[in-house]
Amino acid sequence: MKKEAIYHVPESRYSFAYGEHELHIRLRAAKDDLDDVTLIYAVKYDWLTARKTVQMQKSFTDDLFDYYTAVLDVPDTRIGYVFYLKSGSEAYYYSEEGLTVGYDHKKSYYNFFQYPYINGADLHRKVDWCGGAVFYQIFVDRFSCGDTEKDRTYINKRWGEIPDPKSFYGGDLKGITQKLAYLEGLGVNALYATPVFTSPSNHKYDTVDYFHVDKMFGSDEDLKELVGKAHERGMKIVLDAVFNHCSMLCAQFRDVLQKGRASRYYDWFLIRGDQPDPEEGNYECFAACRYMPKWNTNNEEVQAFLIDVALHWMRECGVDGWRLDVADEVSHDFWRRFRRAVKAENAQAILIGESWHDAAAWLRGDEFDGIMNYSFTKACIDFFATKTRDVQSFCDRLNELLMRNTDQVNEMMLNLLDSHDTERFLTLAGERKDALVLALAVLFFFPGMPCICYGTEIGMIGEYEPDSRRTFDWDARDELLTRTVRSLARLKREKIGGAAKIFVQGRLLCIERENVALVVNGTEETLTFAGQSCYHVIGARSYAVIDKEGSL
């Protein structure tokens, strides 16, 4: 037995409450090392008289490790537990004292693992609507122009021209409202819009006034109308919250520029010296962009101000959640306070952090619900677009990503193939639509919420931003991609759910969910798949969806 690989941590992604009386337990072991894993558990005060056992299942495997899982129904949630491991002729108990040949049950209260109590206030509750959510990301300036009577003097590009960093095209909120029927027909039931509040830029990530919609995009009433019309169609609206930084034109920063330390807002920012100097750059900012000074989110007044922004738009318009920009550079203290306020206003509002890396520290149930899953993005790029991973490596990576987080977090991850901040997937794939189709299939079957970047369904291309932020071509059509998104969206709403099992059979990637399975052939050859009571010939570079009864 490879003892050094055995790993478990209580009250972590290896031991977590999924519901008021449901515990999920995981154990890590070296790949193909253990023959049997038994979980011994009991209410910790009844250990000597009421112990139970359950056989743990090897549910996930990556390049180095196997992960065993068990789901416990625990009416009394004060649980102690110990593992019993077998590998060939070796057998060990695994407790807080490590691996031991025997185990003294009479003294177990010293060293069993424990989940002391499921407190409702600590439970990371899944947002009810996320299970069937199909997201669509919109870069507002580039999607659709609906207000033909607004001031258009700021527009400096014709619709369809290649963008540069300073391009303005005229897309607005009315344009989105007018296209809700199109989006509903595509199968979309949740929209994520990039920032809409007052800002001098086309992207609006440098906010000047958080309490008004930018006039380029319309009015506060236009936002209210968009949310209302979306809700009438059963669609959710998630807005972008830029709370890491603001514009240097923001009233609070302008006051500090003028008054220095005498300003009441001096401590709202992170300044080195008596007064901020944009030429010197003696203050914290986003990246190296001195025109976007960083909020001091350790300051309780700043926290209160930004929380008021979120609550204002939830109350005024009924927005259904927030995508949190540069979320991992903002203080944990602020996000905890922010979450409590948002969830008190609407427990079903979703909070999605922008983090491009392992964000387990933010996903413990007291900050974000999920993140933009760029690690998933990169895995799909590696396998389908650039072909730097083979099918086994891709499978291993997908399983590894699922083991980063709890099950409810996995279900609330915003999974994507590309966004306004990346190259378009189709461009990275050399404009091979078959590669995009396969990646879309995995996107919709992988646990979490699939997110389509505007224009994917018509084959939009683009290099790294700003090229990836082209305008939507409303005259373009792509029947293959549109049909693929529609059919996968329908499956997501109607059938795709439950636990996932991801494995390789031959050179095929298989993702089994509760009612359906996905079989992906990423090669240029025709391969076959036997399983789920059926035998189906899969064409070169194609996928098959198989339901529980074995029909296609």
The residues annotated with a catalytic role in the active site are 325, 354
User: Tokens for 396?
Assistant: 């291993």
Number of H helices, E strands in the chain: 13, 28
Q: Distance of alpha carbon 236 from its chain centroid, rounded?
A: 16
Please give the Cα distance from 392 to 221 (Å, whole number). 51
Let me know how long the chain is: 552
Strands across the sheet containing 542-547: 501-505, 508-512, 516-521, 542-547
Please give the Cα distance from 246 to 241 (Å, whole number). 11
Q: Strand, helix or coil at 91?
A: strand
Please give the Cα distance from 244 to 284 (Å, whole number). 10
φ/ψ of residue 493, rounded to 5: -70, -35
Q: Strand, helix or coil at 194?
A: coil
Contact 214, 198 (CB under 8 A): yes
Please give the Cα distance from 323 to 227 (Å, whole number). 16
Q: Distance of alpha carbon 265 from its chain centroid, rounded?
A: 34
- Residue 352's H or E segment, with its range, is strand 350-353
Identify the sign of the CA torsion 284, 307, 351, 214.
negative
Please give the Cα distance from 435 to 427 (Å, whole number). 11
Contact 22, 72 (CB under 8 A): yes
What are all long-range contacts of 492-499, with beta carbons under 8 Å and residues at least 24 apart? 492/132, 492/134, 492/187, 492/444, 492/450, 493/132, 493/134, 493/187, 493/189, 495/547, 496/444, 496/445, 497/131, 497/132, 499/59, 499/407
Contact 396, 61 (CB under 8 A): yes
For residue 417, how many other CB atoms are within 10 A of its CB? 26
Across-strand partners of 90?
87
Interhelix angle for 433-445 vs 479-494, to 10°? 10
Q: How far is CA 197 from CA 131, 219, 365, in A?
A: 29, 10, 28
- Residue 484's H or E segment, with its range, is helix 479-494
For residue 310, how many other CB atoms are within 10 A of its CB? 23
